[in-house]
């Protein structure tokens, strides 16, 4: 899997992977030298390095309709996967989507060998090569209060 293959799907609805925690459906925003950017309604923009991508499925027109959003989604610098990570040092990061490999916290350092993340009283080091996906910033959702007409943001779990 590489930039040449994924460039064909930019601007289209795709599913990355066939199932499991890392499998996501959304709008492919970009294909870069070392990774792709995928927009999902539930999690926002998720970046996937090519080294862990095993399959991509393109949807028939109409399954996912993001045409109106395509030009309004803001992407982070995308020279390389490590440059992407370095652009978000001191920001909230979510590495991998689930299971035992999922880690969230403040990104302290990123290089070709490892990333360093702080969460509560722990410092977690993860080999950069083993990052399957990454997203940045805490996620919030809008929910309706039951006894009022107001809306409130709350942190997603």
5 pLDDT more than 80: yes
Using one digit for the tens of pLDDT, what is the confidence trace for 88-103? Answer: 999 999 999 988 889 9
Domains of the chain: 3-155 (2.30.30.600)
How far is the C-alpha of 101 from the C-alpha of 117, rounded, in Å?
13
In this prediction the pTM is 0.82
What phi, psi does 110 have (nearest 5°)?
A: -145, 135
Judged against a pLDDT cut of 90, whether residue 14 lies above it is answered with yes
C-alpha–C-alpha distance, residues 79 and 142, integer Å:
33
Residue 82 has pLDDT above 90, yes or no: yes
Measured CA angle at 42 (ends 146, 35), to 5 deg? 160
| Three-state secondary-structure class, residue 84 | helix
Specify whether the CB–CB gap between 139 and 152 falls below 8 A. Answer: no
pLDDT digits (tens, 9 = 90+) for 95-154: 999 888 899 999 999 999 999 999 989 999 999 999 999 999 875 444 444 555 444 434
Rounded to whole angstroms, how far apart are CA atoms 65 and 110?
35
In which region does residue 17 sit, left (phi positive, over 0), alpha (psi from -120 to 50) or beta (all else)? left
Work out the average pLDDT over 64-81.
Answer: 70
- pLDDT at position 16 over 90: yes
Rounded CA gap, 137 and 147, in Å? Answer: 30
- What six digits make up the tokens of 103? 């880690």
- DSSP 3-state of 141: strand
Helices (H), the chain: 3-7, 81-86
Q: Which residue has the tokens 């809008």?
A: 142
């Amino acid at each position: 899997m590489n930039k040449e293959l994924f460039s064909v799907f930019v601007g289209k609805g795709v599913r990355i992977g066939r199932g499991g925690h890392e499998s996501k459906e959304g709008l492919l925003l970009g294909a870069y030298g070392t990774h792709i950017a995928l927009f999902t309604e539930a999690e926002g923009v998720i970046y996937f390095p090519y080294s862990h991508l095993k399959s991509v499925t393109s949807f028939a027109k109409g399954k996912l309709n993001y045409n109106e959003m395509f030009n309004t989604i803001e992407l982070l610098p995308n020279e390389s996967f490590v440059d992407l990570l370095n652009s978000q040092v001191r920001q909230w990061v979510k590495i991998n989507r689930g299971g035992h490999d999922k880690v969230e916290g403040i990104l302290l350092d990123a290089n070709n060998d490892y990333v360093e993340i702080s969460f509560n009283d722990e410092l977690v080091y993860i080999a950069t090569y083993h990052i399957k996906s990454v997203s940045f910033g805490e996620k919030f959702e809008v929910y309706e209060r039951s006894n009022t007409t107001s809306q409130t943001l709350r942190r997603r779990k």
